[in-house]
C-alpha cells in the first residue's frame, strides 16, 4: 500500500490546469506541504503524507496499483482509461474545480444536423475511447484520429473534418473558427482511491483526509446568514434562503413578535436574495463567510 507503508501517498498533477487547485485543496484541508529536494515528491510536514507529483494521465494507474493511496484527476481522464482490464481507480467525491466539457465541434459554416452528419468524417481528439463509445452508441461510423494536444488546429491543417476536445469557456474553439455541436462528457476534478483496499494502518488518516476534503468542498460558496424577522414571516423567509435546510430560530430579548434566524446557505447568496428577505420583513441581515465545516 502506497510507496511507503507508513506514509499515505496522494498523487496530484505536477503541472497543468489542476495542479494549483489541487495543492490549494491540500492547504485548506490543513496539510502543510513542503517542497523537497526531490521534484517527484512534496512532503506534508504535519502528517505522515507524501504528495506524488506526476502527469495527470498516470494518476489512475498509480492509484489502481496502490502506488498512491489517493489521487486527484479529471473525470474525463478516468473515462478515457476505463476500458483497461480490471477495476480501475474509483471516484469517491467531486471536488468542484477543473470544470470542463468534452465537445464535438465542426468548422463554422459547416452544416450539422445531428450525429449522422459525422458519418464517414475524420474526427481529431485526445479522448479516442470516450469518443468511440459516444459514436458507437449513436451508430455513427467515423474515423477517429488521436492527437495528444492542439486538437483544435486539426481542421485548419486538413487533418480532420471535426474535433472532439475539452472546452471550458469556448474561447479556443471560437479563435479557431469552430462551433460546438455535441456534448460528449461533462467533467470536473474528482478524488480517486484504489478499488478493494485492504486494511491499512493509515486507513483512518485516509478517511479523515477525505472528510476534510468534503468539508472544504462543501464550505466553498456556503455562507452563514443571520437576520431578525417577524415570527409570522418565518415560513416565507425559510423558503427564500438558498439551500438552507432548517434554520436556527431564537427569541429576541423584549420582542414577542420577532425572532433571530441563523442559517447555513449552501448556495451563493446574491443581493437579490437579501432584497427579497428584506421585503419579507427581515432586518439587520448579515452574510458571513464560513471558514470550515464538518
Ligand atoms: P499533463 O502534463 O499532466 O498530462 P495535460 O496537458 O494532459 O497535463 P491539462 O491541460 O493540464 O492536462 O488539463 C488537466 C485537466 O484539467 C483536464 O484533463 C481536464 O480535466 C481539466 N480541464 C479544465 N479545463 C480545461 C480546459 N479548458 N481544457 C482542457 N482541460 C481542462
Ligand atoms: Mg495529460
Percent of the chain with pLDDT over 70: 97
Q: Atom of ligand 1 at shortest distance to CA of 126?
A: 7
Q: Which has the minimum average pLDDT: 7-11, 185-189, 199-203, 249-253?
A: 199-203
Q: Quick one: pLDDT band at residue 2, thresholds 50, 70, 90? A: low
| Residue ranges with CB less than 5 Å from ion ligand 2 | 56-57
40 Cβ inside 6 Å of ligand 1: no
Question: Do the beta carbons of residue 152 and residue 177 sit within 8 Å?
Answer: no
Q: How far is the CA of 230 from the centre of ligand 2 (A)?
A: 56
Q: What is the dihedral of CA 233, 239, 241, 247, to 10 degrees?
A: 70
Size of the chain, expressed as the number of residues it contains: 294
Percent of the chain with pLDDT over 90: 82
Mean pLDDT for the stretch of residues 234-244: 90
User: DSSP states of 101-115 as a string?
Assistant: EEEEEEETT----SG
Rounded to an integer, what is the distance from CA 135 to the centroid of its chain? Answer: 25
- Report which of 182, 180, 192 is spatially closest to residue 74, judged by C-alpha positions: 192
| pTM exceeds cut of 0.85 | yes
Question: How many Å apart are CA 77 and CA 223, to the nearest integer?
Answer: 32
79 Cβ inside 6 Å of ligand 1: no
Amino acid at each position: 500500500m502506497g510507496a511507503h507503508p507508513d506514509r499515505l501517498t496522494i498523487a496530484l498533477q505536477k503541472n497543468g490546469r489542476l495542479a494549483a487547485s489541487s495543492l490549494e485543496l491540500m492547504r485548506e484541508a490543513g496539510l502543510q506541504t513542503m517542497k523537497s529536494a526531490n521534484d517527484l515528491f512534496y512532503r506534508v510536514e504535519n502528517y505522515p503524507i507524501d504528495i506524488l507529483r506526476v502527469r495527470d494521465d498516470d494518476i489512475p494507474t498509480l492509484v489502481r496499483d496502490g502506488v498512491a493511496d489517493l489521487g486527484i484527476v479529471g473525470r474525463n481522464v478516468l473515462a478515457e482509461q476505463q476500458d483497461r482490464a480490471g477495476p480501475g481507480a474509483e471516484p469517491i467525491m467531486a471536488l468542484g474545480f477543473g470544470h470542463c466539457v468534452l465537445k464535438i465541434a465542426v468548422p463554422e459554416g459547416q452544416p450539422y444536423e445531428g450525429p449522422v452528419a459525422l458519418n464517414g468524417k475524420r474526427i481529431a481528439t485526445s479522448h479516442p475511447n470516450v469518443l468511440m463509445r459516444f459514436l458507437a452508441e449513436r451508430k455513427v461510423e467515423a474515423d477517429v484520429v488521436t492527437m495528444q494536444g492542439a486538437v483544435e488546429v486539426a481542421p485548419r491543417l486538413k487533418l480532420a473534418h471535426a474535433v472532439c476536445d475539452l472546452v471550458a469557456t469556448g474561447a479556443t474553439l471560437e479563435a479557431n473558427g469552430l462551433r460546438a455541436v455535441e456534448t460528449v462528457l461533462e467533467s470536473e476534478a474528482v478524488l480517486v482511491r484504489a478499488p478493494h483496499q485492504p486494511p491499512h494502518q493509515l486507513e483512518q488518516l485516509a478517511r479523515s483526509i477525505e472528510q476534510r476534503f468534503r468539508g472544504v468542498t462543501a464550505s466553498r460558496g456556503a455562507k452563514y446568514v443571520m437576520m431578525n424577522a417577524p415570527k409570522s414571516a418565518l415560513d416565507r423567509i425559510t423558503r427564500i434562503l438558498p439551500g438552507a435546510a432548517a434554520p436556527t430560530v431564537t427569541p429576541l430579548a423584549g420582542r414577542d413578535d420577532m425572532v433571530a434566524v441563523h442559517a447555513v446557505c449552501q448556495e451563493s447568496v446574491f443581493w437579490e436574495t437579501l432584497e427579497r428577505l428584506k421585503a419579507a420583513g427581515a432586518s439587520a441581515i448579515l452574510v458571513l463567510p464560513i471558514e470550515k465545516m464538518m
